[in-house]
C-alpha cells in the first residue's frame, strides 16, 4: 500500500521551487550574454537600408598613411596604408612577421602618425635585444599585455585603445584572444568576438581622439600553413597578407591573398639582412649570392674527334 502511495499522482511544484528554477535560467542566460558581449537590456538595432549616395565622410578618412617605401603601393591602389581597416599578417615561424610589422609601424610614426604596438608574446627583454638590431623600433610605444594577465587584460586594452591611434600592431591576435579568455574565464569564441568588435569600434573612430584606427594583426598558422581563425575574423578584415620564405629561403616575399583596397597575388620581396631597416622591392632582391654565368654553367667542348665519333654512332643507328 505504501508503494502505491509513492507511485501516485505527482504533487505540483511549489511557487518557491519555480522561482528558484526561473532565477537559475535567467542567471545562466545572462552569463552567456555577457560572454558574447550582449547585454539583456541592450537595444536591438532596427534594420536600415542604405543608399551610398546619401553617405558622407570626412575626406581625410581616404587620405592613406604612407611609410615612404615600396610597401605603400603594395597595400593599396592609391598608395599607402588605408585608414579604418584591419589587415591580418600570417606566415610561418621566423619568416619575419613581427619585424615587417614593426618596420611599417616605425615608418608611419616617423611620418607623423600615432602608433601603438601590443605585444602579447614578447617580453621587455626580448624587445630590448630586438631593438639593438633595429634601433628605430625603440621609439614605438609598446603595451606588454602579458604583464597584465592577472589584472584583467580586457580592461587594460580597452583603456589603452580609448586614447585613439592611427595604426595599431597586434602580436598576435590569437595570443591576445587566449590571454583574455583565460584571465576573465570566458569562451574562446566570446574572446574573439570581443576583440573583433573592439577593433571595429575603433575603425569607426570610437575613441578620445576620433582616430579611424587601422589594425595590423599578426595571426598564427598551423604547421601545415593553415590560417588559425574563424570566418568572422576573415570576413571583418580588409586584407590577408601572407609572408613566405621563397625558394631555398633566399627570396622571402609577401603576397595578399585578399585585399579590398589593392591587388592580390602579386609578390613584394623583402630583406631583413640590412641591420636597422627592412628593404622592399617588386623584383627579386640581390642577397649577395653570385650566380654562375651561362659559360660557367654550360661548358661544351666540341673538337673534330668528338664530332666524328658522334657521326659514326648516328650512322650505325641509321638516324
| Structural domain contains residue 56 | no
| Structural domain contains residue 289 | no
pTM comes to: 0.77
| Structural domain contains residue 162 | yes
| Structural domain contains residue 129 | yes
| Structural domain contains residue 180 | yes
Q: How far apart are the first and last CA of the chain?
A: 112
pLDDT band (50, 70, 90) for residue 38: low
Angstrom distance (rounded) from CA 89 to CA 33 = 31
pLDDT band (50, 70, 90) for residue 309: low
Angstrom distance (rounded) from CA 261 to CA 280 = 19
| Domain count across the chain | 1
**172 upstream amide cis, omega within 30 of 0:** yes
pLDDT of residue 26: 81
DSSP state of 205: T
Give percent of the chain above pLDDT 90: 63
Domain range for 247 = 67-281
pLDDT of residue 313: 45
pLDDT greater than 80 at residue 64: yes
Three-state SS for 258-295 is: EECCCCCCCEEEEECCCCCCCEEECCCCCCCCCCCCHH
Q: Which of the residue ranges 20-34, 45-59, 162-176 has the most confident prediction, judged by mean pLDDT?
A: 162-176
CB atoms within 10 A of CB 149: 14
| Structural domain contains residue 75 | yes
CB 88 within 8 A of CB 220: no
Q: What is the CATH number of the domain that holds 215?
A: 3.40.50.300
Amino acid at each position: 500500500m505504501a508503494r502505491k502511495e509513492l507511485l501516485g499522482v505527482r504533487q505540483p511544484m511549489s511557487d518557491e521551487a519555480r522561482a528558484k528554477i526561473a532565477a537559475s535560467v535567467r542567471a545562466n542566460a545572462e552569463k552567456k550574454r555577457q560572454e558574447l558581449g550582449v547585454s539583456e537590456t541592450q537595444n536591438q538595432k532596427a534594420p536600415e537600408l542604405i543608399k551610398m549616395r546619401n553617405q558622407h565622410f570626412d575626406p581625410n578618412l581616404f587620405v592613406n598613411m604612407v611609410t615612404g617605401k615600396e610597401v605603400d603601393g603594395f597595400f593599396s591602389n592609391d598608395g599607402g596604408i588605408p585608414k579604418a581597416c584591419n589587415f591580418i599578417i600570417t606566415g610561418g615561424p621566423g619568416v619575419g612577421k613581427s619585424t615587417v610589422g614593426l618596420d611599417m609601424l616605425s615608418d608611419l610614426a616617423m611620418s607623423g602618425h600615432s602608433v601603438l604596438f601590443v605585444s602579447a608574446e614578447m617580453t621587455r627583454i626580448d624587445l630590448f635585444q630586438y631593438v639593438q638590431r633595429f634601433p628605430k623600433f625603440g621609439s614605438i610605444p609598446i603595451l606588454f599585455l602579458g604583464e597584465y594577465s592577472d589584472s584583467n587584460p580586457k580592461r587594460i586594452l580597452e583603456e589603452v585603445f580609448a586614447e585613439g591611434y592611427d595604426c595599431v600592431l597586434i602580436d598576435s591576435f590569437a595570443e591576445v584572444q587566449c590571454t583574455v579568455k583565460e584571465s576573465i574565464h570566458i569562451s574562446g569564441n566570446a574572446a574573439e568576438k570581443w576583440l573583433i568588435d573592439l577593433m571595429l569600434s575603433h575603425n569607426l573612430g570610437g575613441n578620445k581622439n576620433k582616430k579611424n584606427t587601422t589594425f595590423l594583426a599578426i595571426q598564427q598558422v598551423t604547421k601545415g600553413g593553415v590560417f588559425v581563425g574563424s570566418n568572422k575574423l576573415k570576413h571583418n578584415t580588409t586584407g590577408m597578407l601572407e609572408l613566405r620564405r621563397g625558394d631555398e629561403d633566399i627570396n622571402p616575399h609577401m603576397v595578399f591573398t585578399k585585399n579590398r583596397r589593392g591587388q592580390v597575388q602579386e609578390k613584394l620581396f623583402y630583406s631583413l639582412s640590412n641591420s636597422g631597416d627592412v628593404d622592399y622591392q617588386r623584383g627579386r632582391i640581390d642577397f649577395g649570392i653570385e650566380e654562375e654565368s651561362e659559360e660557367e654553367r654550360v661548358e661544351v667542348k666540341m673538337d673534330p674527334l668528338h664530332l666524328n665519333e658522334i657521326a659514326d654512332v648516328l650512322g650505325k643507328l641509321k638516324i
